[in-house]
Amino acid sequence: MLLPNAWDPLSAAIVAAAGFPAVATASSAVALSRGYDDGEQLPFDELVTTVRRIATAVEVPVSVDFERGYGATPDDVRRNTVKLVAAGGVGVNIEDSVDHETLRPVEEQCERISVVRAAGLELGVPIVINARTDAFIVGGKAGTEAAAIAVSRLGAYREAGADCVYPILCDDLTVLDRIHQATEAPINVMLRPSTAPLSSLMDVGVRRISMGPGLLAIAAGAVGEAARRMASGDLDLIGMPRVTTTEMRQHLGI
């Protein structure tokens, strides 16, 4: 499954219109497009509103980047899950870092995954849980140590109820294969210049490829190029791709 992550109803509707079977948000894209930094700086109520508007704009399933669950306790995470499902979300990413330097204790993270699963079952929605480990981001661990931590953690998250596992920033095919063997779960990777070819990724258990803020970066790049061209006197902007306001309305069904 390829997921060019969206950040608002229009981007989600354009992604769905291109033929993708699901839409996923990226926390950094949603936050930055609204003037907030990533890392749960976007108010949760604003995230819920965004999810509701995206779910209204598309007919495909919507997965939400839930970050750390927006809660200090598992019960907070459960309540927030209920709100996301009520808004139209049927999948979540949930990550295991407490901050940029620390990973949450495994037992605590497993409990948070379990309450997401339980909340979905109570509502009759089999939420797709994409359990992310930040082992390759935080703590300054060497590659082999980070890999061992990731394998152990993702195995535990799978047992706690995760459907997919996400070792973000891991591009090493050998490590991805170890994770697949340990979890027997579909793996999510983020598309980057260093990402291996699709056939190689599939051989080691990768079944979901997302872009994080990549699509927003392309859109912002297009805005920047248009602005620079206009500033230099180019008012025609020939060659720039465009979506008319009529087409935008059609995408949104308004």
pLDDT in tens, 29-54: 999 999 999 999 999 999 999 999 99
Residue 95 in tokens: 């990550």
Any idea what the Cα angle at residue 253 is, between residues 249 and 254, rounded to 5°? 60
Going edge to edge, which strands form the sheet with 23-24? Answer: 2-3, 206-210, 187-190, 164-167, 128-133, 91-95, 62-65, 23-24
pLDDT class for 142, splitting at 50, 70, 90? Answer: low
How far apart are the C-alpha atoms of 196 and 74, rounded to whole Å?
36
Which of 209, 201, 160, 198 has the alpha carbon at shortest distance from 180?
A: 201
Residue range 196-233, pLDDT digits in tens: 999 999 999 999 999 999 999 999 999 999 999 999 99
CATH number of 2-212: 3.20.20.60
Look over the chain and give the mean of its residue pLDDT values, rounded to a whole number. 96
The reported pTM is 0.95
Residue 160: pLDDT over 90:
yes
Burial of 183 (0-12, 13-18, 19+ CB in 10 A): buried
What are the structural domain ranges in the chain?
2-212
Which of 19, 52, 58 has the alpha carbon at shortest distance from 251?
A: 58
Given this model, what pLDDT does residue 140 score? Answer: 64
Residues in the chain: 254
pLDDT class for 141, splitting at 50, 70, 90? Answer: low
How far apart are the C-alpha atoms of 47 and 200, rounded to whole Å?
35
Residue range 74-119, pLDDT digits in tens: 999 999 999 999 999 999 999 999 987 899 999 999 999 999 999 9
Element (H, E) at 172: none
Burial of 252 (0-12, 13-18, 19+ CB in 10 A): middle
Identify the three-state secondary structure at position 56.
helix
**Start-to-end CA span in the chain (Å):** 29
Identify the three-state secondary structure at position 48.
helix
Give the residues across from 128 on adjacent strands.
91
